[in-house]
Amino acid sequence: MNKPKTLQQAIRYFSDEQVCIDTVAALRWPNGPICPKCAHNEHYYLASQRRWKCKECYKQFSVKVGTIFEDSAIPLDKWLAALWMLVNCKNGISSYEVGRALGITQKSAWFVLHRLRLAIQNASMNKMGGEGKLIEVDETFIGGAARYMHADKRKRRITETGTKDKIAVQGILERGGEVRAAVVGNRKKHALQTNIRAHVKAGSAIYTDALMSYQGLKQEGFAHQVIDHAEKYVDGQIHTNGLENFWSLVKRGLKGTYISVEPFHLFRYIDEQVYRYNNRGSKEVPVNDGQRFQKALSQIAGKRLTFAEVTGKVQETAC
């Protein structure tokens, strides 16, 4: 059977556990399985247990070891179905929906989704832009609207008007390229410009709004131009409308699908939307659901997130 391109095809294709194992193994080990204990590449396959045994150290290992699936009793067909829905539902999918669809508890579905968000996290250290490249930089605030809160919660969480009790997120978009977004501590010059220098090459043309924190970017080697939103939103090619589109997608998912997101986990939901946006395809280079899924599945190795880490009981380790 050809690789699935729709959810229905994917459910049929991955209904066999061995097909799931073969698919994940082929992406992890293109040249054959490698022992995670000693890195030896000679092994036996124990068909009855669906795992391998290393000829060197004699340790047994499954395809889940060393991936986000490790130590999970949930079968791979459910993991892969959850991954398919996460990367292909434009506004995201809630843990309640995943739990009902896969026949697992909401708590398990919540944990599954957070582990999958770690897999699709963009950890690229390559800088964006360069000579002749156009970069948009903008920030937004994410937090609950006071008028929708219960009076007790509003009294506890809303201490001032404006953006005081909301979380600042900065986005950087290369026109015709990818977007990156990260939770920042505040909108002060040091925080915003440090993030720009970490992700954008000197010499890039940067467009921002009139926020004072962006002053001085020209001295940092960027061709910086400003659009003052108090006067207009577009002045030729000077605008941040690309990022405004991205923010609308982020907030549509947070407000319409996830409803309530703790600040502790906000970066995970931002990473999720960044992945979908960067892999949405275009008329020139179309990307279907199957290709978006395959790319996400290829990123599962070398990443681990325990329940203690995701609930904040221990510090999360860097991957």
Q: Which residues of the chain fall short of a pLDDT of 70?
A: 1, 144-150, 153-164, 318-319
Q: pLDDT tens for residues 129-166? A: 998 899 999 999 998 665 556 677 666 655 555 566 78
Interatomic CA distance for residues 316 and 311, integer angstroms = 10
What pLDDT sits at residue 89? 95
CA neighbor of 4 nearest in space, from 84, 112, 103: 84
The DSSP symbol for 74 reads S
Burial of 103 (0-12, 13-18, 19+ CB in 10 A): exposed
DSSP per-residue letters across 249-286: HHHHHIIIII----GGGHHHHHHHHHHHHHTS--SSS-
What pLDDT sits at residue 67? 95
